Amino acid sequence: MITYNSSERIFKLDTPDTSYIIGIGAEDYILNLYYGAYLPDINLWANAERIKSASFSPANPHIPHEKFSTDVAPMEYSCNGSGDFRISAIAVRNSDGNSVTDIRYKGHKISKGKPSIAPLPSVYVNDESEADTLEIYAEDKVTGVEVTLIYTVFNNIDAVTKSVRVTNGGKAPVDIERIFSTCLDLPTMDFDLITLYGRHMKERCREQRRLAHGIQGVASKRGSSSHNQNPFAALLRHGATEDNGDAYGINLIYSGNFEFSAECDYSGTTRMIMGINPTDFSWHLEPDESFQSPEAVHVYTNEGLGGMSRIYHRLYINNLVRGKYKYEKRPLLINSWEACFFDFDTDKLVAFAKNAKELGMDMLVMDDGWFGKRNDDTNSLGDWFVNENKLKGGLSKLIEQVNDIGLKFGIWYEPEMISPDSELFRAHPDWYVHVPNRESSIGRNQYVLDVSREDVRDNIFNQMYSVLSENKIDYLKWDFNRNISEAGSALLPAERSKEFFHRFVLGTYDLMDRFTKAFPDILFENCSGGGGRFDPGMLYYSPQIWTSDHTDPIERLTIQFGTSLCYPASTMGAHVSAAKRTGFETKGNVALWGTFGYELDPTKLTEDDRQIILGQINDYHKYYDLIHYGDLYRLIDPHTDHFKCAWSFVSPDKKEALATAVIMRENFCHLFFLKLKGLDKDRMYRCEETGEVYSGALLMNSGINLSRVIWRDGESKMLHFIAE
Ligand code: GLA
């Protein structure tokens, strides 16, 4: 609910358990008065009072200078160059050549529901009653630049979304040099910052540091959200834990260059900003032209990091992921990649399909290597026609055989890439991302295709459209296997060259929009060398994302724990593979915390492995709803316990729980009590595996003693509890 108290000039934005309060102060400055647990109060003007550092925090000459300075006030959207020396959310260079920016309140509108910010992806409402939206209209009187701050609060979940639209209402052109999606000033620096760092094969590991004076943060300038830092951050109040205390989450719905920064200033406050990375960014606006920022999703809870994650999960399941597979059961797939790499033909895939069917799988996915003349990664990206030397008789013949066996069929694409050795490159040598007079770097033998261009997008769309429309394809894996360097487009004039990175992301979104509309029945799975674009922008188009190319279950634990800070199990692509150390059972138990599937040669399994797989597939069906729609509780985090870890899913009515524990490393004199969370303490629960009945209180406070149940490297146990 959103209310405006016109005598106090205060906006109150309430979710069930949180309040976000904005005040319009003297000289129409827009100030943040509070964000945190729900407050019934309206008048929080006292919260804006600050002591400033004499003349070193300059102030507006029309307000008594001891009362107010933008340098210390809790600014709702911080401006560059007008007395606030902390990190700025916006900087607009005007026709005089300076980028002093100063926005003040002009008006507002409160409405039901939530408007789309297309062509950018955003959280949406299924019904207008789910949310209310506030637009605050602000203006820089000198340049005529108009800034709309857009807020949506949800009535059934503790989330607030924010984005910003800038319109050049002046007479001269301007250039936006910084435009962050959100700025949040908190009156303390009593926090730890949690972010998700990583690399290829080790994405989204949790990292925690104490906030310090100055600027700290994470960013990507790789052209994608990246393996290396995720557009997610959380502030956890000192003393808060996984289960209790203040946690502020912030996540950007964007798949390109981003920046998150937190600055603790001299007076001990914290400012967070999240948005498009200003490095190599600017956007030119002629009079009356507008620019819309991506959307940021804020979550506040006093139920610790676990509570924060569960809010993100619920919001993303119901209000971000779209399409047929939002709630429909996803097919259990087997993917050819780790079993064959580029070495397959129709016969091999048909043999895979037969074996997969016998085991109860639903879909065969043919990965990289089916098109052009591709037998390794040196060529053919961009040539999206079937390699009939490999697939004799063509794609439809293969699909017919797979379908006859009773399996669906999926295919791999890497639409935003081009190999220098491709027919597409020879026909259009200026279609790759490059800048004049400079040799381009190469990554995995490929260039990036310039999808900021409409003609390029049309070509790729048409090529892919003919394959997808002429064949019965149920699934598409959309890959992206390098980052962008020497970033530029042959079509962009020099003065707009810094628009390239954002135009590239808009081009990707446009392609994804066209495909998801043209093929609403196809299940899309995003991928970028594993989870290099695991972000909410991608989740808007594809309900699942391949979490990592590392499929070893022990390595996967930190990856899945970290990913789960923000993203639900139903979005995390996880497969059992033939790889490495641990046994099939643990591989299955870990992959069940995700979309589940296989990535191995099913013709080479031992009878023992086949029996285990039959059991796993049974578990997949049995626990599908619990894992996809239940509440995740992280029980023991592998980032902090080096020997073991555990997690659980609890049904929303608390009548059912599934707990999984894994031994990562044998611990001498191992003692292991597994304590559950999120159960009803007064209920009795029967453990399916042991037949024993325990109270919820016992399971959560004493825990179940697994000391003699699992202890060796790689052993794991899944326990299913059902309320009596
Ligand atoms: C990326 C993906 C893999 C596979 C290969 C194919 O690395 O993450 O799963 O699809 O590309 O080249």
Span from the CA of 530 to the centroid of ligand 1 (angstroms): 7
- Closest by alpha carbon to 32, among 114, 136, 120? 136
Span from the CA of 65 to the centroid of ligand 1 (angstroms): 60
Span from the CA of 529 to the centroid of ligand 1 (angstroms): 5
Span from the CA of 546 to the centroid of ligand 1 (angstroms): 9
pLDDT digits (tens, 9 = 90+) for 405-442: 999 999 999 999 999 999 999 999 999 999 999 999 99
Contact status, residue 56 vs residue 68, Cβ threshold 8 Å: no
How far is CA 363 from each of CA 354, 525, 625, rounded to the nearest angstrom?
11, 13, 20
More confident residue, 713 or 66: 713
Which amino acid residue places its CA nearest to atom 11 of ligand 1?
529
Q: Please work out whether the CB of residue 249 comes within 6 Å of at least one atom of ligand 1.
A: no
* Cβ count near 454 (within 10 Å): 12
Contact status, residue 550 vs residue 201, Cβ threshold 8 Å: yes
Active site residue 84: no
> b/e map of 465-481 (b: 16 or more CB within 10 Å)?
bebbeebebbbbbbbbb
Which amino acid residue places its CA nearest to atom 4 of ligand 1?
337
Span from the CA of 341 to the centroid of ligand 1 (angstroms): 9
Per-residue pLDDT, 314: 98
Per-residue pLDDT, 278: 98
Mean pLDDT for all residues in the chain: 97
Contact status, residue 473 vs residue 363, Cβ threshold 8 Å: no
- Each as own residue / partner, the long-range contacts of residues 642-648 (CB below 8 Å, 24 or more positions apart, any chain) are 643/667, 643/670, 644/672, 645/557, 645/561, 646/674, 647/561, 647/564, 647/593, 648/676, 648/677, 648/678
Q: Please work out whether the CB of residue 254 comes within 6 Å of at least one atom of ligand 1.
A: no
pLDDT digits (tens, 9 = 90+) for 173-201: 999 999 999 999 999 999 999 999 999 99
Contact status, residue 622 vs residue 634, Cβ threshold 8 Å: no
Q: How confident is the model at residue 692 (pLDDT cuts 50, 70, 90)?
A: very high
Reading the block at residue 195, the tokens are 């972010």
pLDDT digits (tens, 9 = 90+) for 116-163: 999 999 999 999 999 999 999 999 999 999 999 999 999 999 999 999
Q: Please work out whether the CB of residue 367 comes within 6 Å of at least one atom of ligand 1.
A: yes
| Given the residues 367, 549, 619, 637, the one annotated as active site | 549
Q: Please work out whether the CB of residue 529 comes within 6 Å of at least one atom of ligand 1.
A: yes
Q: How confident is the model at residue 67 (pLDDT cuts 50, 70, 90)?
A: confident
Across 15-29, average pLDDT = 98
Q: Please work out whether the CB of residue 525 comes within 6 Å of at least one atom of ligand 1.
A: no
pLDDT above 80: residue 579: no
Q: 632-723: which CATH number, 3.40.50.510, 3.20.20.70, 2.60.40.1180, 1.20.140.10?
A: 2.60.40.1180
Which amino acid residue places its CA nearest to atom 3 of ligand 1?
529
Measured CA to CA, the distance from residue 10 to residue 185 in angstroms comes to 16
pLDDT above 90: residue 324: yes
* Cβ count near 519 (within 10 Å): 18
Per-residue pLDDT, 670: 83
Mutate to test the pocket of ligand 1, among 201, 203, 337 (most ligand atoms within 8 A of CB): 337
How far is CA 269 from each of CA 75, 96, 188, 214, 703, rounded to the nearest angstrom?
11, 33, 4, 11, 40
What residues have CB less than 8 Å from 708, skipping those under 6 apart?
none
Q: Please work out whether the CB of residue 530 comes within 6 Å of at least one atom of ligand 1.
A: yes
pLDDT above 80: residue 580: no
Contact status, residue 590 vs residue 717, Cβ threshold 8 Å: no
Q: Give the rounded percent of residues in the chain with a pLDDT score beyond 90.
A: 97
Per-residue pLDDT, 270: 98
Per-residue pLDDT, 52: 82
pLDDT digits (tens, 9 = 90+) for 269-279: 999 999 999 99
Which amino acid residue places its CA nearest to atom 1 of ligand 1?
529
Q: Give the rounded percent of residues in the chain with a pLDDT score beyond 70.
A: 100
pLDDT above 80: residue 65: no
Of all atoms in ligand 1, which is nearest to the CA of residue 528?
A: 8
Q: How confident is the model at residue 622 (pLDDT cuts 50, 70, 90)?
A: very high
pLDDT above 80: residue 88: yes
Which amino acid residue places its CA nearest to atom 12 of ligand 1?
368
Q: Please work out whether the CB of residue 478 comes within 6 Å of at least one atom of ligand 1.
A: no
Per-residue pLDDT, 686: 98
- Tell which phi-psi region holds residue 437, choosing left (phi > 0), alpha (psi between -120 and 50) or beta: left
Measured CA to CA, the distance from residue 566 to residue 260 in angstroms comes to 15
Span from the CA of 478 to the centroid of ligand 1 (angstroms): 10
Ranges of CATH 2.70.98.60 domains, the chain: 2-319
Ranges of CATH 2.60.40.1180 domains, the chain: 632-723
Q: How confident is the model at residue 53 (pLDDT cuts 50, 70, 90)?
A: confident
| Given the residues 71, 84, 368, 479, the one annotated as active site | 479
Across 316-328, average pLDDT = 98
Measured CA to CA, the distance from residue 412 to residue 394 in angstroms comes to 16
pTM exceeds 0.95 for this model: yes
Contact status, residue 568 vs residue 536, Cβ threshold 8 Å: no
Q: Please work out whether the CB of residue 232 comes within 6 Å of at least one atom of ligand 1.
A: no
Per-residue pLDDT, 274: 99
Domain 2-319 in CATH: superfamily?
alpha-galactosidase from lactobacil brevis (2.70.98.60)
Which amino acid residue places its CA nearest to atom 7 of ligand 1?
529
pLDDT above 90: residue 508: yes
pLDDT digits (tens, 9 = 90+) for 329-374: 999 999 999 999 999 999 999 999 999 999 999 999 999 999 999 9
- Closest by alpha carbon to 265, among 219, 303, 214? 214
For residue 512, give the H/E element and its range. Answer: helix 500-518
Active site residue 479: yes
Q: How confident is the model at residue 649 (pLDDT cuts 50, 70, 90)?
A: very high
Which amino acid residue places its CA nearest to atom 2 of ligand 1?
529
Mutate to test the pocket of ligand 1, among 335, 368, 380, 547 (most ligand atoms within 8 A of CB): 368
pLDDT above 90: residue 54: no
pLDDT digits (tens, 9 = 90+) for 211-269: 999 999 999 999 999 999 999 999 999 999 999 999 999 999 999 999 999 999 999 99
Span from the CA of 282 to the centroid of ligand 1 (angstroms): 33
Which amino acid residue places its CA nearest to atom 6 of ligand 1?
368
Span from the CA of 479 to the centroid of ligand 1 (angstroms): 7
Q: Please work out whether the CB of residue 412 comes within 6 Å of at least one atom of ligand 1.
A: yes
Measured CA to CA, the distance from residue 230 to residue 251 in angstroms comes to 9
Q: How confident is the model at residue 395 (pLDDT cuts 50, 70, 90)?
A: very high
Measured CA to CA, the distance from residue 678 to residue 681 in angstroms comes to 9
Q: How confident is the model at residue 51 (pLDDT cuts 50, 70, 90)?
A: confident
Span from the CA of 480 to the centroid of ligand 1 (angstroms): 8
Q: Please work out whether the CB of residue 547 comes within 6 Å of at least one atom of ligand 1.
A: no
* Cβ count near 385 (within 10 Å): 14
Span from the CA of 359 to the centroid of ligand 1 (angstroms): 24
Of all atoms in ligand 1, which is nearest to the CA of residue 377?
A: 12
